Amino acid sequence: MLFLDRNNLVSQYNMRKELNGLRKELQFYRDQARMDSIELGRLLGDSLELEKLGREKYMMKRDSEDIYIIVRKPAVKK
């Protein structure tokens, strides 16, 4: 006799596969949170690092400065 219910082998395999994927995702987010907290501590501890981040990532500037953004076109292959 063969019984098919929600605890069959195919369902168990699929649930195990989903569980492993969720565990990998959880580990990724834990690692990301750890790196972000280290970065936050570094930025709050050093005003030069904070200024560097603002200038590079958010294109902030001082009142007496001008910013020029140069966008290069990709080379065309012939």
d(CA 62, CA 20): 49
- Looking at residues 45-74, what average pLDDT do you find? 85
d(CA 16, CA 24): 12
Task: Please report, as a single letter, which amino acid is at residue 6.
Answer: R
Greater confidence, 2 or 59?
A: 59
How many domains does the chain contain in total? 1
Instruction: For the full predicted model, state whether its pTM sits above 0.95.
Output: no
Range of the domain at 78: 1-78
- According to the model, what pLDDT value does residue 1 have? 53
Token look-up 């605890």 returns 7
Q: Mean pLDDT for the chain?
A: 87
